[in-house]
Structure 1
Amino acid sequence: MEATISSGPDPILWLATDTCALGPYRADLVETYWRWEQDPALLVGYGRQSPESLEARTEGMNHQLRGENIRFTIYDRTSGKPVPAGVATLLPDHAVRTAEYIVMIDPQARGRGLGTQATRLTLDYAFHITNLRMVWLKVLAPNTPAIRAYERAGFRDAGLLRNAGYWLGQVCDERIMDTLAEEFTGHSLVQP
Structure 2
Amino acid sequence: MLWIASKSCGLGPYRADLVETYWAWEQDPALLVGYGRQVPESLEARAEGMTQQLRGANVRFTVYDLAGDEPVPVGVTTLLPDDAVRTAEFVIMIGKEARGRGLGTEATRLTLDYGFHVTNLRMVWLKVLAPNIGGVTAYERAGFQRAGVLREAGYWLGEVCDEVIMDALAREFPGPSVVKALFEG
**TM value normalised by structure 2:** 0.97
How do 1:37-76 and structure 2 match up within 5 A?
37-76=26-65
Name which of 110, 117, 123 aligns with 2:106.
117
Q: Secondary structure at the match of 1:190?
A: helix
Amino acid at match of 1:120: R
Matched, 1:77 2:60: no
Distance (Å, rounded) in 2 between the aligned partners of 1:135 and 1:44: 23
1:157-185 alpha-carbon deviations (Å, 9 max, x no partner): 00000010000000000000001001012
Runs of 4+ aligned structure 1 residues displaced above 2 Å come to none
Distance (Å, rounded) in 2 between the aligned partners of 1:63 and 1:172: 31
Q: Which has the higher helix share?
A: 2
Distance (Å, rounded) in 2 between the aligned partners of 1:90 and 1:106: 18
Give 2:166's aligned residue. Answer: 177
Name which of 176, 182, 185 aligns with 1:187.
176
1:10-32 alpha-carbon deviations (Å, 9 max, x no partner): xx100011210000000000000
**Count of matched residue pairs:** 181
Give aligned-pair identity as a percent: 73
Distance (Å, rounded) in 2 between the aligned partners of 1:44 and 1:159: 21
Amino acid at match of 1:30: V
Give 1:136's aligned residue. Answer: 125
**TM value normalised by structure 1:** 0.93
Q: Please, which runs of 5 or more residues in structure 2 have no aligned partner?
A: none
Q: Please, which runs of 5 or more residues in structure 1 have no aligned partner?
A: 1-11
Q: CA deviation at 1:113?
A: 0.2
Distance (Å, rounded) in 2 between the aligned partners of 1:96 and 1:167: 32
Q: CA deviation at 1:80?
A: 2.6
1:32-53 alpha-carbon deviations (Å, 9 max, x no partner): 0000000000000001111000
Give 2:137's aligned residue. Answer: 148
Q: Secondary structure at the match of 1:150?
A: helix
Amino acid at match of 1:110: R
Name which of 149, 152, 161 aligns with 1:163.
152
Distance (Å, rounded) in 2 between the aligned partners of 1:107 and 1:185: 27
Amino acid at match of 2:92: V
Distance (Å, rounded) in 1 between the aligned partners of 2:156 and 2:47: 27
Distance (Å, rounded) in 2 between the aligned partners of 1:134 and 1:115: 19
Q: Structure 1 residues 30-39 or 12-21, which shifts more?
A: 12-21
Distance (Å, rounded) in 1 between the aligned partners of 2:145 and 2:174: 14
